[in-house]
Amino acid sequence: MNRFLLPLSIFIVVVGFLGVGLKLNPREIPSPLVGKAAPDFSQPHLADPEQVFAPADLKGKVWLLNFWASWCSGCKTEHPVLMELAKSGEVPIYGMDYKDQRDEALTWLRRWGNPYPVVGVDEAGRVGINYGVYGVPETYVIDKQGMIRYKQIGPLDSETVANKIIPLVKQLESQ
């Protein structure tokens, strides 16, 4: 082959990959926890610190665990989607208030609405570490046996909810 064509050939291969790369989402990261038991915790409720929120209480139910915080702008973006999902009654969304201040979190929920039946408080971020939270918001789908089935990094949008979360929840419900 003509050696002067070599740079062009390499470049064409790179462009091919870049073209494919455009269609991929680098933020979609598989979690090693998917398929494993959801780490246990017992954290105080946000609304009433006397009560304790633990995943064991939810055995036999399919539920979502959503890490959020009042300081997080992505959580604000995702919030209407969560409200919609909560209203549809498809699946309960449990919140985990991550590295936040109690009064600010409560104000945030009062102002924007509360999609969660229960919000746990993870002030020190310990639960977040056990779940491998990269950053808020993150959402986990947990099945009846308490296994993590799906992890969403970053805000949920209505498309992901309709195409991934709800079909998955339906499938897990029927098991």
Q: Which residues bind other proteins (CB under 8 A)?
A: 2, 4-5, 7-8, 11-12, 14-15, 17-24, 26-30, 70-71, 73
Q: What does the chain come to in residues?
A: 175
Instruction: Rank residues 23 and 56 by Cβ distance to other proteins and give the closer one.
Output: 23
| SS3 at position 51 | coil
Smallest distance from the beta carbon of 53 to other proteins, in angstroms?
23
* Best CA proximity match to 29, nearest among 167, 165, 133, 164: 133
Smallest distance from the beta carbon of 59 to other proteins, in angstroms?
32
| Eight-class DSSP state of 5 | G
Q: In this structure, how many other beta carbons lie within 10 angstroms of the beta carbon of residue 1? A: 6
Instruction: Rank residues 36 and 170 by Cβ distance to other proteins and give the closer one.
Output: 36
Asked if omega into 80 is within 30° of 0 (cis), the reply is no
Instruction: Rank residues 11 and 129 by Cβ distance to other proteins and give the closer one.
Output: 11
Smallest distance from the beta carbon of 41 to other proteins, in angstroms?
20
* Best CA proximity match to 34, nearest among 164, 163, 162: 164
Smallest distance from the beta carbon of 30 to other proteins, in angstroms?
6
Instruction: Rank residues 115 and 154 by Cβ distance to other proteins and give the closer one.
Output: 154
CA atoms within 13 A on the CB side of 96: 30
Instruction: Rank residues 17 and 50 by Cβ distance to other proteins and give the closer one.
Output: 17
| SS3 at position 149 | strand
The pairing of strands 93-98 and 63-68 is: parallel
Smallest distance from the beta carbon of 175 to other proteins, in angstroms?
28
